């Protein structure tokens, strides 16, 4: 059969996945951001993604990839453009040993972290990044910002990604890896989807390990004592997650310790583990809106079990919302003191306080491995101090978050994230223009390009 070039062009523009172009609205998980793309599309093959990127007439610029739309900011907004959802590209393609002898898992971009964790756990492997959020997709967290207090790991997902396959602005499939491409690869991982659409990743894994945890609630007399207490709790263990009730100077602390090899939560830790997991999941789902959490001591578990699924809430339901800021650990006392002062003054004026403040600790790599954005300050330890609330659309929470941005960013020099920090202004973050292709750049991102 002879195919002329015009017919070939038509064939490569054909998209098999679902396409919706009736002007309907799409919202994020928290129902705080909504967008009306001209086209919403769910590719079912890499060829589909290529055809979408190439066909500017049917799929208007900009093309914005999305995963589960969990993000709290306008990063998922794309009015009049093309929203490309990767949820159907979610296969786990298998374990392999890469050219440097590393054990890696090959996985498609739309795979959710819970699915990946369960699959790896069954094979006796794990990725050290095991944040509570199981619905986030691999593609999103490969090029976006994440945080968690990992056991023996940096604490952000993209650090474990050693190669990416992506579709560039011309619709071509490209591969970048740490071994072959060095700087270009590390820059791509800071690109938020502006340099291309990730379709597949190679992620380094290690033998599955167990975690032992002590959970407790501590009360302090002053913000300084609270900061010192958090640092001491961190020193005593291998990784600390703290949720602070700042206006009352309470700290809910989960101290994590390495507990040797293993992929299954031992029966001896049940039912305490499962009770704690379910209570914690509900607290996160509802934005820590009250209720007592169990405080188990000495439970041993597979951290994969604590990567949770969260249901899509309805408008009337309490649901998590948050703001993220990265600080150097040396700033923690000042961050807590000034945040306390601001919070008390806001409470005095309005009666409003956030439901909690999440504190994670992340190990920053050398600058070359994380050239831009959060964790790009060179080797060291970062902490976050992130206000949380249970209703993203509450006007007082929104006012608190906007005013606190000025404290955290201007006064405390904290680094925000375009995915995890809301109400940012131009200048709050700088994304190098060289990372952004016009085909993938929405107005939200345009304002941060330098």
List residues near ligand FAD by CB under 6 A: 29, 64-71, 75-76, 86, 109, 131-133, 136-137, 139-141, 143-144, 146-148, 192-193, 197-198, 284, 310, 320, 419-420
The answer to whether the beta carbons of residues 141 and 189 sit under 8 Å apart is no
- How far apart CA 385 and CA 3 sit, in angstroms, is 60
* Of 140 and 422, CB closest to ligand FAD: 140
* Of 265 and 390, CB closest to ligand FAD: 390
Least distance to ligand FAD, CB of residue 309, Å:
10
Q: Listing from the earlier edge strand, what are the strands of the sheet with 103-108?
A: 92-97, 103-108, 197-204, 161-167, 173-177
- How far apart CA 313 and CA 275 sit, in angstroms, is 22
Least distance to ligand FAD, CB of residue 151, Å:
15
Least distance to ligand FAD, CB of residue 345, Å:
28
What does the buried/exposed string (b/e) look like for 126-159 if buried means 16 or more CB atoms within 10 Å of the residue's CB?
Answer: bbbbbbbbbbbbbbbbbbbbbbbbbbebbbbbbb
Nearest to 40 by CA among 63, 6, 69, 72: 63
Q: What is the CA radius of gyration of the chain?
A: 22
Q: Per the structure block, which two tokens stand in for 29?
A: 């998980």
* Of 137 and 302, CB closest to ligand FAD: 137
* Of 161 and 237, CB closest to ligand FAD: 161
* Of 121 and 420, CB closest to ligand FAD: 420
Least distance to ligand FAD, CB of residue 176, Å:
13
The answer to whether the beta carbons of residues 126 and 208 sit under 8 Å apart is yes
Least distance to ligand FAD, CB of residue 225, Å:
27
- How far apart CA 284 and CA 288 sit, in angstroms, is 6
Least distance to ligand FAD, CB of residue 32, Å:
10
Least distance to ligand FAD, CB of residue 30, Å:
6
- How far apart CA 47 and CA 172 sit, in angstroms, is 9
* Of 141 and 163, CB closest to ligand FAD: 141
* Of 340 and 444, CB closest to ligand FAD: 444
Least distance to ligand FAD, CB of residue 349, Å:
29
The answer to whether the beta carbons of residues 380 and 364 sit under 8 Å apart is yes
* Of 164 and 249, CB closest to ligand FAD: 164
Nearest to 49 by CA among 110, 135, 121, 140: 110
Burial category of 59 from C-beta neighbours within 10 Å (exposed 0-12, middle 13-18, buried 19 and up)? buried
Least distance to ligand FAD, CB of residue 169, Å:
12
The answer to whether the beta carbons of residues 176 and 199 sit under 8 Å apart is no
Which is it for the CA torsion 100, 105, 107, 113, positive or negative? negative
* Of 249 and 408, CB closest to ligand FAD: 408
């Amino acid at each position: 059969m002879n195919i002329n070039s015009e017919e070939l062009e038509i064939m490569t523009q054909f998209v098999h996945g679902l396409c919706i172009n009736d002007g309907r609205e799409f919202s994020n998980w928290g129902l705080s951001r909504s967008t009306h793309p001209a086209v919403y599309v769910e590719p079912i093959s890499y060829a589909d993604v290529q055809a979408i990127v190439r066909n500017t007439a049917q799929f208007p610029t900009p093309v914005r990839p999305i995963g589960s739309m969990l993000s709290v900011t306008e990063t998922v907004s794309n009015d009049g453009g093309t929203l490309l959802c990767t949820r159907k590209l979610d296969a786990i393609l298998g374990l392999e040993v890469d050219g440097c002898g590393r054990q890696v898992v090959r996985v498609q971009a739309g795979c959710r972290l819970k699915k990946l964790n369960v699959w790896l756990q069954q094979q006796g492997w794990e990725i050290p990044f095991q944040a509570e959020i199981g619905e986030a997709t691999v593609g999103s967290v490969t090029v976006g910002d994440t945080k968690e207090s990992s056991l023996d790991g940096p604490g952000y997902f993209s650090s474990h990604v050693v190669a990416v396959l992506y579709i560039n602005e011309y619709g071509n499939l490209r591969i970048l890896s740490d071994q072959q491409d060095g700087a270009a690869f590390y820059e791509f991982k800071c690109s938020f989807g502006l340099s291309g659409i990730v379709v597949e990743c190679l992620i380094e894994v290690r033998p599955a390990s167990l975690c032992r945890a002590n959970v407790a609630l501590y009360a302090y007399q002053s913000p300084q004592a609270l900061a010192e207490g958090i640092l001491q709790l961190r020193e005593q263990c291998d990784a600390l997650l703290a949720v602070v009730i700042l206006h009352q100077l309470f700290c809910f602390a989960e101290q994590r310790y390495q507990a040797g090899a293993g992929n299954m939560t031992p029966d001896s830790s049940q039912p305490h583990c499962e009770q704690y997991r379910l209570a914690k999941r509900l607290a996160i789902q509802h934005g820590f809106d009250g209720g007592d959490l169990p405080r188990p001591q000495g439970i041993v578990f597979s951290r994969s079990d604590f990567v949770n699924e969260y249901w899509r809430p309805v408008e009337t339901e309490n649901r998590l919302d948050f703001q993220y800021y990265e600080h150097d650990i040396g700033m923690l006392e000042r961050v807590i003191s000034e945040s306390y002062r601001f919070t008390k003054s806001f409470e005095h004026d309005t009666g409003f306080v956030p439901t909690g403040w999440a504190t994670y600790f992340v190990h920053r790599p050398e600058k070359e491995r994380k050239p831009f954005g959060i964790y790009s300050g060179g080797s060291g330890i970062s902490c976050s101090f992130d206000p949380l609330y249970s209703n993203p659309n509450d006007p007082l929470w929104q006012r608190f978050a906007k005013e606190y941005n000025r404290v955290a960013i201007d006064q405390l020099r904290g680094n925000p994230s375009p995915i995890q920090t809301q109400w940012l202004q131009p200048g709050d973050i700088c994304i190098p223009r060289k990372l952004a292709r016009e085909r993938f750049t929405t107005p939200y991102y345009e304002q941060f390009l330098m």
